[in-house]
Structure 1
Amino acid sequence: MKRIIYIVFCLISVLSFAQNNNDLFTQANTYYNDGKFLDAIAKYEAILSTEKHSAELYFNLANAYYKLNKVAPSIYYYEKALQLAPNDKDIKNNLSFAQNMTIDAIEVVPEIGFTRVTKSIVNTFSFDTWAVFSVTLVMLFVVLFLAYYFSYGTGKKRLMFLTSITSLFLAFITLAFAFQKYKYVQNDNPAIVFAQESEVKADPNLRSESTFILHEGTKVQVLETYKSNWTKIKLSDGKTGWISNQDIKTL
């Protein structure tokens, strides 16, 4: 009986929690529509404090910051929304508008040849999707090989053998793509510069020479950290340097 009461209590708590977040979201949207963007931001962030995340929540929060011309947080939350909904056109369009407010004009080093083609194919699907393809093809190989083994006609055996080998070959390829996608995800550690202006140093200390300056809203890749004070970053044009941890916020 106590267990049933406990389960019922948990269900009521979850439903109450969800309803509270829905009320906050509705209030935030109302504030946003009334042009009260600071109040909307407070409500959206109150939802985030409950560890409730969604692309729509990040998108609306980014829009509110964008309306206040807050470059870094608007780009940051658009990027967070894009992580959850990578194919959403509205998020991509609004992100591009926010990026137009940044000062730094950093060119992207283009990838060429086989690397560009491979990366384009691998990024077509997620790691989980490539893994499902690989497992499915292995299962198909087993079925086709058994069909080949128990077949009697020469033509049918040849067809089953060729298709089973092809399935196995494709399984290895998709498995390789899955591991490559996992590697891309592991190496992808982006951050947004939140400081209005930040000096990037050649070494992780204040006495080091400044190699270049970054401004708020610029996206960088985090390579490593040093003594919890400095972070080594890389730009899309290949430049690297050390920046204060206080000046960036990882996605």
Structure 2
Amino acid sequence: MRIIVIVLICCSSLLGFTQNDKVFEQANALYNESKYAEAIDKYESILNSDTHSAELYFNLGNANYKLNNIAPSIYYYEKALLISPNDKEIKSNLSFAQNMTIDAIDKVPQVGFSRLVNNMVNTFNSDAWAKFAIGGVLVFVLLFLMYHFSYSTSKKRIAFVVSIVSLFVACFSVVMAFQKDNLDKKDNPAIVFVQESRVKAEANKTSEEVFRLHEGTKVQVLETYEDWMKIQLSDNSTGWIPSNDIKMLNIF
């Protein structure tokens, strides 16, 4: 009975993938015919089936960009980058979409040692750093065994030196993996989805307005209180924004 259930689940999953492929092709055809709104409906129906891919989000960004939908185009390009962070075409189209935004917010540059560390940490994701750590440990074990069982003095010396280096690489990679994981947990971006949002000094409507944001602006969410979210901009300005005014990027 369990085998039958597993087979049925596999068949239904395969059928779902096949159906989504057909819908994706239909959406692409509509896009090529300049029927962007209809294409968006097709793409979003695939998202509703809990299917996510960089290509899907990229095409959604393109279709919204064609309709001058600033916030959705930026949102979907950013989602595509989360899945495929090194894709140059996504980055290029995102920069075009960001040129349509109103808010010009300066970015506080990182300098000195902190910049060097963050650049190094962000070279790879946490999984890649973990793989480097495992590889370093394996190399260390193999070379340590070679050192122990080798009778040649020169081979022992080489095995010892390289094993120490591989152990250092493993330890360094572990530190980088944990640091990258911590940075990713702190990274909580969102996109402003309303035409204009009034950001308050405190989490209530009667509080003093500190600044205004417009659609398409990217913010970092620091904390949540009831129907409000505390945000931070790239220039380190902070304030409270209604949670309905923004859309989180990390939620799939």
Q: TM-score range by the shorter chain?
A: over 0.9
Structure 1 residue 7: Cα displacement: 4.2
For 2:44 and 2:184, how far apart are their aligned partners in 1?
Answer: 27
Residue 248 of structure 1 is matched in structure 2 by 246
Structure 1 residue 17: Cα displacement: 1.4
Aligned to 1:52, the other structure's residue is in SS state coil
Structure 1 letter corresponding to 2:151: Y
Residue 220 of structure 2 is matched in structure 1 by 221
For 2:12 and 2:75, how far apart are their aligned partners in 1?
Answer: 32
Distance 1:226 1:7, change over 3 A: closer
How many residue pairs get aligned? The number is 249
Q: Is structure 2 residue 174 aligned with structure 1 residue 178?
A: no
5 Å-filtered alignment, 1:91-240, equals: 91-227=90-226, 229-240=227-238
For 2:166 and 2:15, how far apart are their aligned partners in 1?
Answer: 50
Give CA-to-partner distance per residue, 1:116-174, whole Å, 9 cap, x none.
12211211111111001001111111111122222333333222222211111111111
Structure 1 residue 4: Cα displacement: 5.2
For 2:25 and 2:154, how far apart are their aligned partners in 1?
Answer: 66
Residue 72 of structure 2 is matched in structure 1 by 73
Q: Is structure 2 residue 23 aligned with structure 1 residue 41?
A: no
Give CA-to-partner distance per residue, 1:210-232, whole Å, 9 cap, x none.
111110000000110002x0101
Aligned to 2:108, the other structure's residue is in SS state coil
For 1:6 and 1:175, how far apart are their aligned partners in 2?
Answer: 41
TM-score, normalisation: structure 1: 0.95
Structure 2 letter corresponding to 1:113: G
Structure 1 residue 9: Cα displacement: 3.2
Identical columns (%) = 60
Residue 89 of structure 1 is matched in structure 2 by 88
CA-atom RMSD in angstroms:
1.4
For 1:50 and 1:33, how far apart are their aligned partners in 2?
Answer: 23
Residue 24 of structure 1 is matched in structure 2 by 23
Aligned to 2:174, the other structure's residue is in SS state helix
Aligned to 2:230, the other structure's residue is in SS state strand
Distance 1:202 1:10, change over 3 A: same
Structure 1 residue 27: Cα displacement: 1.4
Structure 2 letter corresponding to 1:30: A
Structure 1 letter corresponding to 2:17: A
For 1:104 and 1:208, how far apart are their aligned partners in 2?
Answer: 22
TM-score, normalisation: structure 2: 0.94
Structure 2 letter corresponding to 1:202: A
Unaligned runs of 5+ in 1: none
For 2:6 and 2:116, how far apart are their aligned partners in 1?
Answer: 52
Residue 55 of structure 1 is matched in structure 2 by 54
Structure 1 residue 5: Cα displacement: 4.5
Structure 2 letter corresponding to 1:172: C
Aligned to 1:61, the other structure's residue is in SS state helix
